[in-house]
Amino acid sequence: MSIITTARMILRPFREDDAEPMFHNWMNDEDVARYCRWYRHKDLKSTQFMLHLYLQEAEQGFAYRWCVTEKEKDEPIGCIEVVGTREHGTCAEIGYVIAKRFWNQGYMTEAVRAVIEELFRCGFHKVIARHHVENPASGRVMEKCGMHFVGFEQELHKFDSDILCDVKVYAIRSEEQK
Ligand SMILES: CC(C)(COP(=O)(O)OP(=O)(O)OC[C@H]1O[C@@H](n2cnc3c(N)ncnc32)[C@H](O)[C@@H]1OP(=O)(O)O)[C@@H](O)C(=O)NCCC(=O)NCCS
């Protein structure tokens, strides 16, 4: 899989020694998990298990999950991944998180822009993303990355719950990218 470099970050594959910083920087933070499909991890073991699945998927050829690191420190501070594909595999849906201490400094916009470019380079024709209606910061990232609002959907708020929530869907096509 590719390594993507931006002004302040390096987006690289996950490694076995990433579990502790993942856990402490975002997986155990209720504020980060609130509008994500997963629940906050209460212990390091849960993050180690999830990282193990990430590494397995990478070994099996899944190439669209990046560990977001600070350029100088190589410390994991977030994740961007393709969470699904549509339209016969030509449209990639992305999801992303970043540690709370980096919020509102343009980090995720910088990283998502670079990932969108990479996905178009990889042959996807369209990239979409969805956010909970009560999580407008995520929608703002989508807008700043050139995505446009396409409509509302309802989806399960958490993976194993039956609670539905309203989400806003954003999209960008390869020919729209500046
Ligand atoms: C959503 C998230 C990825 C944003 O990352 P970030 O690095 O803070 O994003 P940026 O700094 O690039 O942009 C955030 C924008 O949202 C705006 N914003 C923040 N809180 C907001 C709010 N409550 N209402 C409206 N806009 C808000 C910021 O002002 C900024 O916009 P601006 O540059 O026009 O001022 C980050 O908060 C996060 O990881 N949250 C938890 C996980 C999550 O929700 N992931 C997305 C799931 S869909």
Q: Which whole number is the average pLDDT over 114-134? A: 97
End-to-end CA distance of the chain: 24
Alpha carbon of 135 to ligand 1 centroid (Å) = 8
Q: Which of 103, 116, 128, 170 to mutate to test the pocket of ligand 1 (most atoms within 8 A of CB)?
A: 103
Mean pLDDT of 50-67: 97
Place of tokens 């991890």: 41
| Average confidence (pLDDT) over 30-54 | 97
Contact 64, 1 (CB under 8 A): yes
Percent of the chain predicted with pLDDT > 90:
94
Residues with CB under 6 A from ligand 1: 32, 35-36, 96-98, 102-109, 131, 135-138, 140-141
Asked whether the predicted pLDDT for residue 114 surpasses 80, the reply is: yes
Q: For residue 178, is pLDDT > 80?
A: no
Q: Residue 160 — very low, low, confident or very high, per pLDDT cuts 50/70/90?
A: confident
How much is the pTM? Answer: 0.97
Atom of ligand 1 nearest to the CA of 137: 16
Domain 4-176 fold: Aminopeptidase (3.40.630)
Q: Is the pLDDT of residue 177 over 90?
A: no
- Measuring CA to CA, which residue among 125, 114, 7 is closest to residue 66? 114
Domain ranges of the chain: 4-176
User: Which residue from 108, 132, 165 has its CB within 8 A of the most atoms of ligand 1, so it is best to mutate?
Assistant: 108
pLDDT, mean of residues 98-110: 98
Q: What is the mean pLDDT of the chain?
A: 96
Alpha helices in the chain (DSSP H): 19-22, 30-33, 44-59, 107-121, 136-144
Residue percentage of the chain with pLDDT more than 70: 99
